Amino acid sequence: MSVFDRLMAHERETQALAQVAGRLSWDQETVMPRGAAEQRSEESGAMEAVLHARRTDPRVGEWLAAAEAPDEVGNAQLRQIRRAHDRARKVPADLATALARLTSRSQGVWAEARAKDDFAAFAPTLEEVVRLKREEAAALAENVTLYDALLDDFEPGATAAMLEALFEDMRPGLVQLRKRALDGVSAEGVSGEFPAEVQLSLARELAGRFGYDATRGRLDLAVHPFSSGSGDDVRITTRTAADDPFNCIYSTIHETGHACYEQGIDSAYRLTPLGQGVSMGVHESQSRIYENQLGRSPAFCRWLYGEMRARFGDIGVSDEEAFYRAVNRVHRGYIRTEADEVQYNLHIMLRFDLEKALVAGDLAVRDLEAAWNERFLKDFGYPVDKASNGVLQDVHWSVGLFGYFPTYSLGNVYAGCLNKALRAAVPDVDAHLERGDPGPAVAWLHENVQRHGGRYKPREVITLACGEEPSAGPLMGYLADKFCALYPG
């Protein structure tokens, strides 16, 4: 066996164990009994200790120094293993284990505090999470800020300065579009009876139409929808609301985009560093294009209107055009995951600035709720009414995902670029969507993005797919065209 083969055998076992650890997290968010939280914290810590030991094994460094890749794919494998090994070696084992234990427990504390609208009950735990994440960032940082060190986990090569420039460029156009829409004639929402079991039946139908292979996954309920796993075990979750079927429908389509990315990666990469999405920005490009440019398109809404009427009866809108307006209406609201396409990125900008300040030490956790409420009022023009609609609405900080939020906006930018390229390559895509068939669009995304997994760097895979470097231009153009037509002024 060659040195390269020994390294890859070690890596496959590490990747398999990481999938087991991920399954523990899935279980915790879906079916784990509430009383098991403390034990699960210990289990998660134990798994992280094992994974950290494998990732920092001195033999990995020796193998990396001696290994010769057989081809371009092998070189990509070595690049990803070297990156993971270098980052893992910088973080002390006891810190990695402590973080795993804490964030497992913190998630339950957050969920209870959210249910009671009580930020003060969560603040001490969050303070500890922030403290340990700052320690981790300090261990990782080499000539970069603490925030950039954490951001690199989710979007390799990205920096806060790059994101600040991107957001500064996007904000004026988004604010202008929002004003146009909110000053215009408000679209009516849907109304009626939307039983949870019927919503879930439709959700499963939609996931299948968008390419999700249910024989290699499952759909469950969770407080905060997510996708988990890779390869032959990729699970998605959604949630239902009795008065808002779009919450379930578009959460499901969104998570299906994530899941199809993982299921669609070349099977030769399974249980290797290339066998998963290359970055969260690219991952979000898949979920956002599935959800928005495809799922909220006029063509797909025409099909979905008929399905909704067949399943729910009268839904409170009179025709396909009114339904399309209801799906895409710009409206006041608090919740990021329920935000329209115009305002979504403004929600991300708020979180990005606050988490940067937390990591830098410029904002204390005890002052976070007040800072959130002040910023929300400034950005959106109305006050937050309760903590679950404000600082407690997202799970990310409770599980230590500092640096994750801006990848949602990067995903939107990438999705704008991919949508432009997709429609040029598949000019009859709307004819298929009108029949409830996203297949040709999904096939193009599979061929040009998903199958590559981690083979290319994040911006490289988008550039290869689109034929040009990613930029905010296509997204902003798409939003202007869509919402100026919906709100003609």
Q: Where are the alpha helices (DSSP H) in 313-405?
A: 320-327, 341-360, 368-380
Residue 226's φ and ψ, nearest 5 degrees, are -155, 170
Q: Is 143 left (phi over 0), alpha (psi -120 to 50) or beta?
A: left
**Beta-strand relationship, 227-230 and 219-221:** unpaired
Q: Are 188 and 328 a contacting pair, CB within 8 Å?
A: no
Q: For residue 175, what are its two tokens?
A: 């604010």
CA 258/CA 212 separation, integer angstroms: 10
Contacts of 332 (CB under 8 A, 6+ apart): 182, 380, 382
CA 389/CA 462 separation, integer angstroms: 34
Q: Are 263 and 233 a contacting pair, CB within 8 Å?
A: no
Residue 238's φ and ψ, nearest 5 degrees, are -145, -175
Chain CA centroid to CA 285, Å = 9
Contacts of 424 (CB under 8 A, 6+ apart): none
> Which residue is associated with the tokens 């032959």?
232
The one catalytic residue in 11, 155, 255, 284 is 255
CA 61/CA 67 separation, integer angstroms: 10
> Which residue is associated with the tokens 């432009």?
420
Report DSSP state, residue 185: P
Q: For residue 379, what are its two tokens?
A: 């950005």
> Which helix (H) or strand (E) element contains residue 303?
helix 298-312
255 given a catalytic annotation: yes
Positions marked catalytic: 255
